[in-house]
Amino acid sequence: MGEGGRSGTPQRRAAQTPRPQHQRRGQLHPGAWWLWSLSLGTAATRTTNPLLLTLLITVSAYVVATRRPNTPWSRSYGAFVKLALAVLLIRLLFATVLGSPIPGTHTLLTLPELPLPAWAQGIRFGGEVTAEALSFAFYDGLKLATLLICVGAANALANPSRLLKSLPGALYELGVAVVVALTFAPNLIADVQRLRAARRLRGRPDKGVRGLLHVGLPVLEGALERSVSLAAAMDARGYGRTAQVPAAVRRTTAALTLGGLLGVCAGTYGLLTAEAGTYGLPVLLTGLTAALAGLRLGGRRSPRTRYRPDRWDVRAWLVVASGVAVAALLTIAATRDPASLHPGVVPLVAPTLPLWPAAGVLLGLLPAFVAPDPKEPS
Looking at every residue in the chain, the average pLDDT score rounds to 77
> Which amino acid, residue 60?
S
Q: What is the pLDDT of residue 15?
A: 42
Q: Which residue has the higher pLDDT, 167 or 29?
A: 29
Residue-wise pLDDT for 196-244, tens only, equals 788 778 777 667 666 666 777 777 777 777 767 776 776 676 665 666 7
Give yes or no for a contact between 322 and 28, defined as CB atoms under 8 angstroms apart. no
Give yes or no for a contact between 205 and 349, defined as CB atoms under 8 angstroms apart. no
Q: What is the pLDDT of residue 145?
A: 94
260-264, 278-282, 323-327, 362-366: the lowest-pLDDT one: 278-282
User: What does the alpha-carbon distance between residue 171 and residue 261 come to, in Å, rounded to a whole number?
Assistant: 14
> Which amino acid, residue 116?
L
Residue-wise pLDDT for 115-139, tens only, equals 777 776 667 777 788 888 888 889 9
User: What does the alpha-carbon distance between residue 151 and residue 34 come to, in Å, rounded to a whole number?
Assistant: 8
Other Cβ atoms within 10 Å of 323 Cβ, number: 28
Other Cβ atoms within 10 Å of 129 Cβ, number: 19
Give yes or no for a contact between 264 and 315, defined as CB atoms under 8 angstroms apart. no
Q: Which residue has the higher pLDDT, 376 or 281?
A: 281
Q: What is the pLDDT of residue 1?
A: 43
> Which amino acid, residue 143?
K
pTM of the model: 0.68
Whether 89 has a pLDDT exceeding 90, the answer reads yes
Residue 348 DSSP symbol: B
Phi, psi of 130 (to 5 degrees): -105, 155
Going by C-beta distance under 8 Å and a sequence separation of 6 or more, which residues neighbour residue 309?
165, 166
User: What does the alpha-carbon distance between residue 6 and residue 338 come to, in Å, rounded to a whole number?
Assistant: 77
Residue 45 DSSP symbol: T
Q: Which of 157, 229, 156 is nearest to 189 (CA)?
A: 156
User: Where does the chain show beta strands of DSSP type E?
Assistant: 107-114, 125-130
